[in-house]
Amino acid sequence: MTVRFEHQGLHWEANLERYVDLSVPVSGSGPRAWGLGAAEIRPYRQGDFVGSVAAGASVNFNDIAFNPHAHGTHTECHGHITRDPFSVNTTPPKPWMLAVLASFVPESRGTDRMVTLAQVEGYFSGPVPKAVILRTLPNPESKKHARYTGTNPPYLEASAAAWFARMGVEHLLLDLPSVDREADGGALAAHKAFWGLPGQPRAAATITELVYVPDHVTDGTYLLNLQVAPFENDASPSRPLLFPVRPVDGAAGIKE
The full DSSP string for 117-154 is HHHHHHH--S---SEEEEEESS--GGGGG-B-TTS---
**254 lies in a domain?**
no
Residue 85, preceding peptide bond in cis (omega within 30° of 0): no
**146 lies in a domain?**
yes
Q: Given this model, what pLDDT does residue 250 score? A: 52
Kindly provide the b/e burial profile for residues 172-206, where b requires at least 16 CB atoms within 10 angstroms of the residue's own CB: bbbbbbbbbbbeeeeebbbbbbbbeeeeebbeebb
Beta strands in 16-175 (DSSP E): 20-21, 40-43, 45-46, 49-50, 62-65, 74-76, 97-104, 107-109, 112-115, 131-136, 155-156, 171-174
**41 lies in a domain?**
no
Tell me, what amino acid is at 255? K
**39 lies in a domain?**
no
**37 lies in a domain?**
no
Residue 103 vs residues 42, 84, 136, 209: alpha-carbon distances, Å: 37, 35, 6, 15
Residues with Cβ within 8 Å of 153's Cβ and at least 6 positions away in sequence, in order, are 113, 176, 177, 178, 182
Phi, psi dihedral angles at 129 (to 5 degrees): -70, 175
Q: Given this model, what pLDDT does residue 54 score? A: 97
Q: Is 205 within 8 Å of 165 (Cβ atoms)?
A: yes
**207 lies in a domain?**
yes
Q: Is 158 within 8 Å of 190 (Cβ atoms)?
A: yes
Q: Does the predicted TM-score (pTM) go above 0.85?
A: yes
**109 lies in a domain?**
yes
**159 lies in a domain?**
yes
Q: Given this model, what pLDDT does residue 173 score? A: 98
C-alpha closest to that of 11 among 252, 248, 253, 255:
248
Q: Is 175 within 8 Å of 211 (Cβ atoms)?
A: yes
Tell me the average confidence (pLDDT) per consecutive run of 10 residues in the chain, 256 residues long.
Answer: 79 90 97 97 97 97 98 98 96 93 98 98 93 98 98 98 98 98 98 95 97 97 96 98 86 38
Read off the CATH number of the domain in which 95 is found.
3.50.30.50
Q: Which domain holds residue 235?
A: 2-31+67-248
| DSSP β-ladder status, 235-248 and 10-15 | antiparallel
Query: For the chain, how many residues are written?
Result: 256
Q: How many domains does the chain have?
A: 1
Phi, psi dihedral angles at 192 (to 5 degrees): -65, -40
Q: Given this model, what pLDDT does residue 83 score? A: 94
